[in-house]
Structure 1
Amino acid sequence: MKLSVIIPAYNLEKYISECLFGVLEQVTSFSFEVICIDDCSSDGTWGLLEKHSKEYTNLKVIKNSSNLGLAKTQKELLQLVTGEYIAYLDGDDVALPGKLQGLVDYMDDNTSCALAYHEAEVFDSDTGDTLGLYSKGFYNAKYVPQRATVEHFIKFGCFANASSIIFRRHGSLLNAIEESCKIILDYPWHILNVLYIGGSVDFIDEVYGRYRIHNQSFGGQTRRNPERRVQSMNDQILAVKNARKFGVAQEVIDKGIAHHQFAAALYFLKLHDFVCFQKYVGPVGQQAIFFDERHIFAFANREYPELVLQKLFPELMCDSNV
């Protein structure tokens, strides 16, 4: 089998059919399988999966008898794959024509690549409107080359959309799932996969997918609950620290930690939560490691958060008339 596509699903009755059709209707020159596990949904997700599995012979569906969560469900999925390559897709995202052929062709032609990812449109689920591009619109995109390394992941964050990736099958698939992370699972997964495989992280500049924003998506939930942002930061820092056991330089890891703390500080700054901004913008009482010149300015002026907001996000000051 050339390719295995894995899809976890939980309460995705509204979206799972579009997700599956987008993959299963792909025209390819190779054989591929699609494996979808329903993590004991309480809506009609399982009924749709059963229906579609009767329509497509290369679709395998399984239902968990209890809700196991995403990490354990991903481990289940990885135990079932038979493909030379593995692609991942969230059950509420959309694959566009040419995706599977484009990903596999790239991996075949670039044998030093451990993990590749394509561009994805970000779209509003209610209106269908495109909001931007995921990777080119990533806030640290200017730091990420087309052929990146695991160090770019560590220092600059998750510039690959989760539903855009493909990677080579390796002997430590289950060890690459970081179950200690409570919210962020794709970022530590990408880092560990690349470290286990060895090789580059390559960008395919084709829009082969659409990333859905809705109330229950990661971004939607985080906007409603700032505590999720702190947990996300902690998960990201754990993902960075995991690289130590693979011999990644401590300097690189420290820069990654500083970046994720700074990113969290900016998140709270934009919410006008100045207490949390000051808490996460940088270490006090020890030598500070700075992500970039923005971080230096924000840390130096941490006692004047409105000044930092005006300097780094002038458009927000105009919009809010503060």
Structure 2
Amino acid sequence: MPIPQTFEALRTHQTAEGQVQSRLETLRLDDLSAGEVVVRTRYAGVNYKDCLSLHGRAKIIASYPRVAGIELVGEVLASSVASFEPGQAVLVHGFQTGIAFDGGFSACVRVPAAHVQAVPQGLTPHEAAVIGVPGFTAAMALERFIELGIAPGTGSVAMSGAGGAVGLLGTAILARAGYRVAAITRRMAQEERLRAIGAHEVIDAAVLDAAQRPLEKPRFAAAIDNVGGPMLSWLLRSMADGGAVASVGNAAGNSYEGSVLPFIMRRAQLFGIVANAPVEQRKRLWTKLAVEWKPDMAAVLPHVQHIALGALMEHSARQLDGASSGRVLVDFSR
């Protein structure tokens, strides 16, 4: 397929007064940041970080104008390096994509070759897009748990923010890897859905509204926290001896209150995850996500929403307001 002369993109600008505005535009290839590989975008995942960028709600984008979108899956249209060839299915995430380099919210992208990875055998392009950054984030946390000796038989793994994309994919991936998952959500109407994707237990996040103690009942061997704030504090206080918490998100805020007691009395560990891993780790984890950690797609797909690029601004506003759930993909065939 030839490179299109023009294509549609959602481009974000900043005015002289500092106001951030995002709008649909018709672009040419030379309007995009430089790169050796030209990709026709098939799917672009919509993450909370992207929504903040589009509406100027946080200082994420490094320079303007910029096409946001921190991840994409598509097909190579042209490449000046031998490692990629036209028609090859590829994925891109991390490496400041959508931040310092133009990202996925464009029907065509130009990407540095070092930022591009082939879709691994065992995944279709659509499955790779569904997993995307949320699933890769969960995989990074899971690999760290294993390194710390937290095996499937050690105890339950808590997954906060279970109604969102990270929670959805994290629950499915942990279950596929053999772990008992305790999904935490304020939307208890979703209990049946969460059990269908692999949760053994669903906990009402209203537990945070109860009286809090310096140390709670030890109930989790590990946790992936996508929320931050009081949830992160509660999870740390609820760790069993030697438990570990992966902090991967901050939907409830950047700070949390806590004490040293979980670390001293129960040897708890807290570590952070950002889905911008070194190349070798990317290849290793995507290979696992394509085989032994591949989520049950039949269970996950009913909770994946596809939208057109033209609907992204409206959707992203709802996502920032907490009015969306599950995984959302911009589908460029729409």
TM-score by length of 1: 0.26
Judging by fraction of residues, say which structure has more helix.
Answer: 1
Q: Larger strand proportion, structure 1 or 2?
A: 2
| TM norm structure 2 | 0.25
